[in-house]
Amino acid sequence: MNAADRERYSRQILFPGIGEPGQEALLRAHVAVVGAGALGSFHAAALARAGVGSLTIVDRDYVEPGNLHRQWLFEESDAAEALPKAVAAERRLARINSQVRVRGMVADLTASNLEDLLGGADLILDGTDNFDARYLINDFAVSRGIPWIYGAAVGSYGLTMPVIPGQTACLRCVYPEPPSGGQPTCETAGVLNAIVSAVASLQVAAALRILCGQSAEVHSRITTLDVWTGAIRQIGAPRDPECPCCARRQFPYLEESRRGPITLCGRNAVQIAERERPIDLLQLKARLEPLGEVRANEFALRFLTPPYEMTIFADGRAIVKGTSDPGIARSLYARYVG
Ligand SMILES: [Zn+2]
Q: How far, in Å, is the centroid of ligand 1 from the Cα of 120?
A: 22
Q: How far, in Å, is the centroid of ligand 1 from the Cα of 275?
A: 20
Q: How far, in Å, is the centroid of ligand 1 from the Cα of 166?
A: 9
Q: How far, in Å, is the centroid of ligand 1 from the Cα of 323?
A: 37
Q: How far, in Å, is the centroid of ligand 1 from the Cα of 244?
A: 7
Q: How far, in Å, is the centroid of ligand 1 from the Cα of 4?
A: 43
Separation between Cα atoms, residue 35 and residue 288, nearest integer Å: 23
Separation between Cα atoms, residue 209 and residue 217, nearest integer Å: 8
Q: How far, in Å, is the centroid of ligand 1 from the Cα of 47?
A: 27
Is residue 110 within 8 A of residue 259, CB to CB? The reply is: yes
User: 132: pLDDT confidence band, cut at 50, 70 and 90?
Assistant: confident
Q: How far, in Å, is the centroid of ligand 1 from the Cα of 245?
A: 5
Q: How far, in Å, is the centroid of ligand 1 from the Cα of 142?
A: 8
Chain-wide mean pLDDT for the chain? 92
AA letter at 88: A
Residue-level pLDDT at 259: 53
Q: Where are the beta strands (DSSP E) in 35-155?
A: 54-59, 101-106, 123-126, 148-154
Residue-level pLDDT at 81: 87
Q: How far, in Å, is the centroid of ligand 1 from the Cα of 64?
A: 36
Q: How far, in Å, is the centroid of ligand 1 from the Cα of 243?
A: 5
Q: How far, in Å, is the centroid of ligand 1 from the Cα of 116?
A: 24
Q: Which runs of consecutive H residues, i.e. helices, occur in 220-325?
A: 281-288
Q: How far, in Å, is the centroid of ligand 1 from the Cα of 139?
A: 9
Question: In the chain, pLDDT over 70 holds for what percent of residues?
Answer: 96
Q: How far, in Å, is the centroid of ligand 1 from the Cα of 247?
A: 6
Neighbours of 82 (CB within 10 A): 12
Q: How far, in Å, is the centroid of ligand 1 from the Cα of 67?
A: 33
Residue-level pLDDT at 168: 97
Separation between Cα atoms, residue 118 and residue 19, nearest integer Å: 28
Q: How far, in Å, is the centroid of ligand 1 from the Cα of 157?
A: 24
Taking residues 284-311, what's their average pLDDT? 91
Peptide bond into 307 cis (omega under 30): yes
Separation between Cα atoms, residue 251 and residue 297, nearest integer Å: 36
Distance from the Cα of residue 46 to its chain's centroid? 16
Question: In the chain, pLDDT over 90 holds for what percent of residues?
Answer: 75
pLDDT at 143 over 80: yes
Q: How far, in Å, is the centroid of ligand 1 from the Cα of 161?
A: 13
Q: How far, in Å, is the centroid of ligand 1 from the Cα of 222?
A: 14
Residue-level pLDDT at 319: 86
Distance from the Cα of residue 80 to its chain's centroid? 24
Name the residue with higher pLDDT: 168 or 266: 168
pLDDT of 49-100, one tens digit each?
999 999 999 998 889 899 999 999 999 999 998 888 999 999 999 999 999 9
Torsion of CA 255, 261, 265, 267, to 10 degrees: 180
Taking residues 306-329, what's their average pLDDT? 89
Taking residues 119-143, what's their average pLDDT? 95
Distance from the Cα of residue 93 to its chain's centroid? 18
User: 139: pLDDT confidence band, cut at 50, 70 and 90?
Assistant: very high
pLDDT of 261-296, one tens digit each?
676 666 788 888 766 678 889 999 999 999 999 998
pLDDT of 177-230, one tens digit each?
888 777 888 888 899 999 999 999 999 999 999 999 999 999 999 999 999 999
Q: Which of 151, 154, 155, 152 is nearest to 163 (CA)?
A: 151
Q: How far, in Å, is the centroid of ligand 1 from the Cα of 231?
A: 27
The phi, psi pair for 336, rounded to 5°, reads -100, -30
Beta strands 54-59 and 30-34, pairing class: parallel
Residue-level pLDDT at 110: 87
Separation between Cα atoms, residue 269 and residue 309, nearest integer Å: 9
pLDDT at 305 over 60: yes
Beta strands 123-126 and 148-154, pairing class: parallel
The crossing angle, in degrees rounded to 10, of helices 19-28 and 193-211 is 100
Q: How far, in Å, is the centroid of ligand 1 from the Cα of 213?
A: 22
Residue-level pLDDT at 275: 60
Q: How far, in Å, is the centroid of ligand 1 from the Cα of 172?
A: 5
pLDDT at 257 over 80: no
Q: How far, in Å, is the centroid of ligand 1 from the Cα of 102?
A: 31
Q: How far, in Å, is the centroid of ligand 1 from the Cα of 274?
A: 22
User: 258: pLDDT confidence band, cut at 50, 70 and 90?
Assistant: low
